[in-house]
A and B are shown apart, each in its own frame.
Chain A
């Protein structure tokens, strides 16, 4: 726990310098960059925006969010794409700038998937233990079971008739 938090702070301090420099740089070179490469299409922007969530409008993916803040974010993606940044770099930039909640999934996948997986496996284990417990005494009762099964159709005469018909067919 300690180690990870240390690493986090290292990343951040490291990043602050980077951000201040690079964003200043991007600001001044924005127009130039746009003129340089082909302008990224809306589809290219949306492909990345789809995977991001803006904290201002929770639960709405960035590509369909109509708010002003989200429009600005899409512009940032466009600018970064024009600069030749990769998808991963762009997502990383947003995480560092606005926190992990911009991602559609918690960054630590291990925790988010492990807990439900363990709970489900535990449930499955309990269920199969239950099966075995139920089935153990069945040897002595199996004849009885067979009898009840034979007798059961009495509850629903129609089903009995139906099953019989089916047998005849075979």
Chain B
């Protein structure tokens, strides 16, 4: 900004200075606009194909004996991704429902539940998992990469992904009944 004033030219403002000023201004506005756009975006919307990401799993909460999974390997199954944290009170409301739902679908082999532990410490997470008797796969959201990809607004949030890797439904906030979970999964299984 300084350049525009100090270099008092003879006649008006030289074109190149004007160009610099405008490019700078527009660039600045563009960055703020992009930031604003991101802030207003909300979570990933249904209909979008979920890109591959890797989720390391806590020991004794592995999936088929694997301590690390790529989401792409789960194509062909319905994937339910639940973001939670041990310090999150609303998460506790839905923990039992999620586990019960998992028990219902576990045997079919058609559905995978993944708990993604958001900004949490492992010892506390394990206490939480044990307290609610959770048995489905769970792992930490390392460096908040996964939550950033989904642009979560908070915990709990649950994402339902169909067999083709397409996001079908986003639940923001806790489930209040197991029927709400069934209502999202059952249509995808048909």
Question: What residues make up the interface of A, taking CB atoms closer than 8 Å to B?
Answer: 12, 16, 19-20, 23-24, 26-27, 30, 54-56, 67-69, 72-73, 75-76, 79, 95-101, 122-123, 126-127, 129-130, 133
Instruction: Give residues 130-176 of B contacting A (CB, 8 Å).
Output: 140, 142-145
Are A56 and B68 neighbours in the complex by a CB distance under 8 Å?
no
CA gap between A127 and B144 in the complex, in Å: 44
Identify A126's interface contact among B2, B87, B121, B144, CB under 8 A: B2
- Residues on the B chain within 8 Å of A130, using CB: 6-8
CA gap between A96 and B56 in the complex, in Å: 13
- Residues on the A chain within 8 Å of B144, using CB: 55, 98-99, 101
**From A130, which residue of chain B is reached at the shortest CB distance?**
B6
- Residues on the B chain within 8 Å of A30, using CB: 123
Question: What residues make up the interface of B, taking CB atoms closer than 8 Å to A?
Answer: 2-3, 6-8, 54, 56, 58-59, 67-68, 85-87, 119-124, 126, 140, 142-145
B122 to chain A: closest CB distance in Å?
Answer: 5
Identify B143's interface contact among A72, A98, A126, A127, CB under 8 A: A98
5 smallest CB-CB distances across A and B, nearest first, come from A130-B6, A99-B143, A68-B87, A123-B2, A69-B87
**Known: A56-B119, A69-B120. Contact between A96 and B85, CB under 8 A?**
no
Identify B3's interface contact among A26, A69, A95, A122, CB under 8 A: A122
Are A72 and B142 neighbours in the complex by a CB distance under 8 Å?
no
CA gap between A20 and B143 in the complex, in Å: 15
**18 pairs, A vs B, C-beta closer than 8 Å:** A16-B56, A16-B68, A19-B56, A20-B56, A20-B59, A26-B122, A27-B123, A68-B87, A69-B85, A72-B87, A72-B120, A76-B121, A76-B123, A96-B143, A98-B144, A127-B6, A130-B7, A133-B7
CA gap between A163 and B51 in the complex, in Å: 76
Identify A97's interface contact among B2, B68, B86, B143, CB under 8 A: B143
**From A95, which residue of chain B is reached at the shortest CB distance?**
B143
A47 to chain B: closest CB distance in Å?
Answer: 19
